[in-house]
A and B are shown apart, each in its own frame.
Chain A
């Protein structure tokens, strides 16, 4: 974890509301592990003080990129920034995914929307390619398909409105694959909480391991403020653990889903 000023190399529209931000971050990028994030201070953000966390998408030498969707005042201001501008970053932060130790493990990735971004480094560093299941509301929410295919991964898409790939939730094609063959499978997922909960239930049903990147509202990003906690099982029941520090990646069976709202 380091804090450094970074230079914006590119900040461009990806598709629809999604953007890609490329940063020159010589001290952060080389350390980045799959599933980790950077905490960015967005300059000239009036009245809003806090940093915004973004999953690390791609890393190349001293640069890293993130994908973001313009949803609030922070990301709208971020989209206005131009190449050459500076911002402050803290990273890489968080406990990421466990890269499969051997090609014996068959990785299946599950992404909702720009959850794809958090899974890219894992796909790149896994000892063997697998399948990535990606879901979204409509075609415009299916990101990075070409990038994953370029790594030799198979991409199976599902959209809720049926405008692209299968109609329905992403867990539908995932279930079919697990029914076909669940041997040696390990699941890695990033997306909205209801999707992660459904992936957790499938992992339990098919008795496979699953690692989930939890998306919680975050404040300090470094484990101090205790904003981003989720209930995690312990020998005595459960306790709140920090998504920014113990997570964002947790094993599916460690999460006390029954306690979560």
Chain B
């Protein structure tokens, strides 16, 4: 448990450290160190959970179990690799004159602020604090989206602020209803503690929880980017700095989904049916299909991949909604591989946009001829995210399909259709960018592609064979979420 406190302290200290530190050349490298230590601590925490099961702090305010511990490790890992990427990237942006020193300071300080909010979302046991941390994550990132202060980025940040703020207010109403239901069975002091609620789930009023869940799903669903609440997402992704897109897609969306699943576990216990899951399935499937179609009409490379994020989040929401152990296992795996692949893609997209000097798809050409590493990275990343074997996304999508065939066979064609449309949408845009003639005067830039290679190697590895330890972990999380082992 100490490791969890240390992670929170470290990232909180990071906010203050970067805000106070005068500008130094190595500010980006310090950020890497902060995130590196966090990764080390998260692994320590994971080992602790692995050895002794669920950890609950003595004050009951923090809980680390098999479900959130792997998300903590994932958060720390993506946080670290994105920090490694953002060091040269932000320096390059500064050289282009897009940023000043004080903005850079703001960027690093809020980067840590975002990480702090994410760790708090994942470790807290209190449903109210969970909401507060989720809102804090919006507040931390909203200034980053408008970092460049162009009219477009200000507009995107404003939309993001308003839509997510209002959306997530609905989740607070849901949380209040949850608290109300908990108060009817007594014990006011710890009534919002997830572990207490989970233990007494059968005694909670099913009527109240059903209504509460609708508000939670709409509220946190705004953050997940579920259609029709997704409008902020492509704007915020395309106008903000690229490292922010990587962590937003790789981490924030996951953690919002995590909040929904935690609540679903309570509702399932209270109602004894899968009514919450059906809502998630509907919402998820709609997002999945709509986003797949939208992939075809994008003109901005970062908007393209943000729609791909909506598509994948839709599929995960759908899979968690099915609720069978098998589907839950698939969803957990999909969460992991999607985070890794998507953050790797945004890293390469950032470099590609810097090479071409624009984010317009029609102006980015001949990447392989200019800088082969970036071109291949983008191509392989896209192959992985589109669900080609032998990458991990293929495995998890395949498992989701199998789980759907098991429970709702008539929905499988829709899923297959969506995957096909999305794949076509990605490749018709990617192909000319990667191949094609190199425009005159296009230069290679200083790029750090280690994060991309590491991420894609892990995704490939997960597609070929899931290590035993990780499979055990997912199995335990599945038992926790859906009551029994997947196989």
B is a partner of A: no
Chain B positions near chain A (C-beta within 8 angstroms): none
Q: Chain A: residues with CB nearer than 8 A to chain B?
A: none
